[in-house]
Amino acid sequence: MSNDQQIAAHYSRSELLSSIEAGLTAMGKTAATATMEDLAPVDEFHIGGRAATTKLCEQLGVLAESKVVDIGCGIGGTARFISSTFGCQVTGIDLTPEYIDVARALSDWTGLAEHLRFEAGSALDMPFDDGSFDVAAQLHVGMNIEDKGALFEEVFRVLRPGGRFGVYDVMGESGAQHAYPVPWASDSSMSFVDSQSNYRQALESAGFVIRTETNRRDFAADFFAALKQRMAEVGGPPPLGLHVIMGDDAATKVAHMIEAVASGALAPVELVCEKPLT
């Protein structure tokens, strides 16, 4: 099995769409009545969920006429949020075919399909022309990609001059130890966490100018504390949440992530970059 196949298999969940529909039913909702807010707990597969998405997107200068690409789009939550918030066209690409199928279905349910396009494929070889997009977003994707240089060169290629690129990935210093599984990897063979300094170097080598860098460790710690409190109050996970995507070992994955952030081994980091005009 290739590394891409191994990673896609890690994320794939049998009957994922049916599980989401069952969660909606438990909430008294249906596919016909589901809203963006209803889907938000399962829609944003990264630390901080919708709040983290909002924070990153505020820095990207998205306009109604912008063409946006969401790299590693998962089931389309970020793409739907950007499109519904700014009224723009968004294209999502993800390595996991099941995620793409679910992304299309949820976009139909929420009435946003007209403004969205989803493609199955690799972030290292995107099926888009040079300069196709004004804005690119990447949320919790780089941890599964070893060659950050090739990744950022490909993003640079598909952005127009002056375009902005927002990265929100889990990062850590080389050699930092943490337990597996974690949300993005069953074991170390599919995990390529890298340092903020190496991200910076790879982005600049690809041609990007870095505008801002923000370590979001404290934000992550607050997010996990609030998550733990909510679960304690209701006696378990809600009908819809990231456990639906992560599968039966979701609690273990989240516990390991919390431990790694608390110890300082890992932290989510934002980098907002720009492709120069010349």
Report, as an integer, the average pLDDT of 10-37.
92
| pLDDT tens, position by position, 95-136 | 999 999 999 999 999 999 999 999 999 999 999 999 999 999
Q: State how far the alpha carbon of 81 is from the alpha carbons of 66, 200, 254, in Å.
A: 14, 27, 24
pLDDT tens digits for range 41-84: 899 889 999 999 999 999 999 999 999 999 999 999 999 999 99
**By the 8 A CB rule, do 68 and 88 touch?**
yes
Q: Is the pLDDT of residue 168 over 90?
A: yes
Kindly tell me the sign of the dihedral angle through the C-alpha atoms of 96, 268, 171, 67. Answer: positive
> Looking at the 3D structure of the chain, how many domains does it have?
1
The pLDDT > 70 percentage for the chain reads 99
Domain span at residue 86 reads 3-274
What angle in degrees, to the nearest 10, is found between the helix axes of 196-206 and 148-158?
A: 40
Name the band, by pLDDT with cuts 50, 70 and 90, for residue 5: confident
Q: What is the CATH number of the domain that holds 155?
A: 3.40.50.150
* Contact between 135 and 62 (Cβ < 8 Å): yes
Whose structure tokens read 């996970």? Answer: 237
Rounded mean pLDDT of 184-191?
A: 92
pLDDT of 173 > 90? The answer is no
Strands, DSSP E only, in 62-200?
Answer: 67-71, 89-94, 116-120, 133-139, 159-171
Enter the pTM of the model. 0.94
Measured distance CA(112)–CA(100) in Å, rounded = 15
Q: How confident is the model at residue 7 (pLDDT cuts 50, 70, 90)?
A: confident
Task: Please state at what angle helix 36-43 crosses helix 49-57, rounded to 10 degrees.
Answer: 100
**pLDDT at residue 278, as a whole number:** 81
Q: Which pLDDT does position 164 carry in this prediction? A: 98
State the pLDDT at residue 183. Answer: 94
Q: Is 21 exposed, middle or buried (0-12, 13-18, 19+ CB in 10 A)?
A: middle
Here the tokens at position 189 are 């063979």
Would you say residue 29 has pLDDT above 90?
A: yes
CA 172, 158, 104, 61: dihedral to nearest 10 degrees?
70
- Average pLDDT over the chain reads 93
Query: Tell me, what's the pLDDT at 71?
Result: 98
pLDDT score of 174 more than 70: no
Residue 1 reports pLDDT greater than 60? no
Tokens of 173: 């210093």
Percentage with pLDDT > 90 across the chain: 80
